[in-house]
Amino acid sequence: MWTPLADSLSDLGESPFWHPQERALYWLDIAGCQLLRTHGPLAPGVEVQRWPMPQAPGCMAPARRGGLVIALRDGIYRAREWGGALTLLAAAGHDGATMRFNDGKCDPLGRFWAGSLNEAKTARNAALYCLDPRAGAALEPKAGDAMTANGLAFGGDTLYWTDTPSHAIRAYPWEPAANRLGPPREWRRFDARREGEPYGGRPDGATLDARGRYWVAMYEGAQLLCLGADGGTLAALPVPVQCPTMPCFGGDDLRTLFVTSARKGRPAEELAWQPDAGRVLMRRVDEPGRPVDFFDD
């Protein structure tokens, strides 16, 4: 039931969102150092535009006044238009030799959040940062003790965040107006890989639907999971790629489910029987998702 976008191949696809005014799907290729978006009516053979980046992009979000906010390796940048100049909004607080930004998005109040990733996998020094354009140009650290930040989602008074190698999703009490996080609890833990046993994957990027259900891509698990309020699995959707990376909802009615995927570093025999690895996949679903939140500067 999944349909690939023909011209959507990426090494490491991530950070998809549907732009309602442009009626376009945006995503990025971290390893390929480029931003991508559809151009023209959404269909399997739609034209895809590609914008090379000077550094690896980790995540991005649309801006209310046009353009994008983009997390590159060394900081958060603002682009007023597609292909335009990149203006530094806030420098990263990490060492770019071993760290980069990864998963992120805007919250409903227009602040941009971005998590980091330790590429060497030698320390749990990845963190979650927030940039409030109305409160200055500094990145404020909000959470830490992670190696690979992922799974960010905002559900009312709860913030969800994942450290992918730990196979666990955390839930933080969140006061949106004050932008304050309380102590986290482990909301859902998945089984780690065990020799000789089936492996369901580890939690990567995520999004919420209109009912507040949490949809998460299970990296190396070839599936998307829909989780309920208690973290239990409500549905599992197999995907024809081993490494889905992040879902989002789009289309005019927000009932098209998109998921990005990865092919970088995968075995040749796996890629031979999974030719859509690295492409964007899409399918129709019964329940709509939530619209993207815009950066409000």
Residue 219 falls within a domain, yes or no?
A: yes
Please state whether the predicted TM-score (pTM) of the whole model is above 0.75.
Answer: yes
**Which regions of 231-284 does DSSP assign to beta strands (E)?**
233-238, 244-250, 256-261, 281-284
Which residue matches tokens 């980069």?
100
Show which residues are catalytic. Answer: 204
Residue 21 falls within a domain, yes or no?
A: yes
Residue 295 falls within a domain, yes or no?
A: no
CATH number of the domain at 232, please: 2.120.10.30
228 lies in which domain range? 3-284
pLDDT of residue 6: 85
Per-residue pLDDT of the chain (297 residues; tens, 9 = 90+): 899 998 999 999 999 999 999 999 999 999 999 999 998 777 777 899 999 999 999 999 999 999 999 999 999 999 999 999 999 999 998 888 899 999 999 999 999 999 999 998 888 999 999 999 888 778 999 999 999 999 999 999 999 999 999 999 999 999 999 999 999 999 999 999 999 899 999 999 999 999 999 999 999 999 999 999 999 999 999 999 999 999 999 999 999 999 999 999 999 999 999 999 999 999 999 999 999 999 999
The angle formed by the CA atoms of residues 223, 228 and 229, to the nearest 5 degrees, is 145
What is the total count of domains within the chain?
1
* Alpha carbon of residue 148 to chain centroid: 12
Q: Which two tokens stand for residue 135?
A: 């409160």
How much is the mean pLDDT over the chain?
96
